[in-house]
Amino acid sequence: MRVLTVRQPWAWAIVHGGKDVENRSRSLGPYRGPVAIHVSLRPMPAGDPSWSRVASHGMDTDRVDGDALHLGHIIGVVDLVDVHLADDCLAQLGVYQGHEDDPDMDCCSEWADYEHDRDVHHLVLTNARALDEPVPWKGGLGLRKTDLDIIGEHLVAPWGHGPGSCTPYGCEPGCEFEPVARLLATS
């Protein structure tokens, strides 16, 4: 599984608010599959327009404090299903350079950015699942590999004893992992 660090309030919007596109300056490679959403230690500054935009999708920004932001924690998992350039997205709609200023036009999503940087990549996300308990995690840049995985409805991490040491006959499937958090559907 991979992990992606996202600043608040965007991390909340991805996991709880229906944000189905993350805008990035790079494509982050060919990986497609589950991605853990990690909250950056530094949220967007107070007064940034992103807070009011996310508030319109259900985040109670009046009652948000440091603990509620879950800074430095994984708060959910999504599936990364596609990555494309904003330019490609606009071309599919028949919109070309100089004609993208229609405020009612949505690219592949209302969350997709195309107005300021035509070289932005849209990371298309589906199947958001929140964690029942946020998991402390060290952040970083890009889409990073982790030893986390999903088994059933749980986010799991490897257990230190290794395969084959459960019984003289081996381990049950999944025995080498321990649950870290439970995944909860957010749609």
Flag whether 174 is in a domain: no
Determine the structural domain holding residue 14 and report its residue range. 2-146
Q: Give per-residue pLDDT as tens, 69-107.
A: 899 999 999 999 999 888 777 766 555 555 445 544 556
Give yes or no for a contact between 73 and 101, defined as CB atoms under 8 angstroms apart.
no
Angle at 74 between CA 64 and CA 82, to 5 degrees: 110
Q: Is the pTM of this model over 0.85?
A: no
Determine, yes or no, domain membership for 92.
yes
The answer to whether residue 6 sits within a structural domain is yes
Q: Helix, strand or coil for residue 74? A: strand
Asked if residue 183 is part of any domain, the answer here is: no
Higher-confidence position of 182 and 172 = 182
CATH number of domain containing 32: 2.30.130.30
